[in-house]
Every structure is written in C-alpha cells, then in structure tokens.
Copies of this chain bind each other. A is one copy, B any other.
Amino acid sequence: MNVINLAEKFASFEDYANPRIVAELNGQHVKVGKLKGPFIWHHHENEDELFLVVQGRLRMEFRDRAVTVGPGEMIVVPRMMEHRPVAEEETHIVLFEPASTVNTGNVHNELTRPSLQRI
C-alpha cells in the first residue's frame, strides 16, 4: 500500500519499448513505458490492453484507421485486434492489462520482453 508516483517511475529509466511493472492487482499489471517512433504490428490472443497517455502523443494504428491519444486520454485495444502503437514524439504511457500480456503479443522478435522489471 505504498504510494506510486508516476513521475518518479518515469524518471527512473530511459529506454524505449521496455515497460516496467509498477503494480499488480486482480491478476492484472499496471506498467509504465516510454515509446518513441513506431512499434510493431501485433495482437494479443487473450488480453485487452489499456493505454493511458501521460506525456506525448500516441497514434494507435489499426488496419482500417488510426486514432491519436494525447495526455490525459486513454484507449482500450480489444484482444485479437491488430494494432501498431506509433509515438510521434517521446511518449509516456501507463498500461493496464493482464499479467499474462507480452509486449509484442503474437510476434516474437528482438523487441519481445518475456519478463519485465518491477520498479
């Protein structure tokens, strides 16, 4: 029951596309991550994924459209929905998703983070 300060968490790391776990509850993880530039196209078989933007701008691309999520805004990407997050500038996001979620979903490549650091 410690207080989790998001600004402190974001200040504690610098690398992109490598989210950290800051809380766990009800089988879900709360993560913080930094993105810059395009991530990869992927989907999650069994997990819906919430992105809350704290700083920057995240363009969430789907196969048929794209939406832009700014600070104080969030979007839920349903399971099985192909998506590509693109950070138009350095963007800080909070993720809320099942503990089972792997960052690259169905894709396994050099960006895949099979286990995440807890901070």
A contacts, CB < 8 Å to B: 1-7, 23-26, 28, 30, 47-50, 54, 60, 62, 67-69, 72-78, 81, 96-98
Contact = CB atoms under 8 A, between A and B. Distances in A.
Given A1-B67, A6-B73, A25-B78, 13 more contacts: A1-B81, A3-B68, A4-B76, A5-B72, A23-B50, A25-B48, A25-B49, A25-B97, A26-B28, A28-B28, A30-B74, A30-B96, A96-B96
B23 A67 contact: no
B28 A72 contact: no
Contact of A23 (B4, B72, B74, B81): B74
B97 A4 contact: no
Contacts of A23: 50, 74, 76
A105 B47 CA distance: 27
3 cross-chain pairs, A with B, having the tightest CB-CB distances, nearest first: A25-B48, A4-B74, A6-B72
A76 B1 CA distance: 6
B3 A96 contact: no
A77 B1 contact: yes
A1 B73 contact: no
Nearest to A100: B26
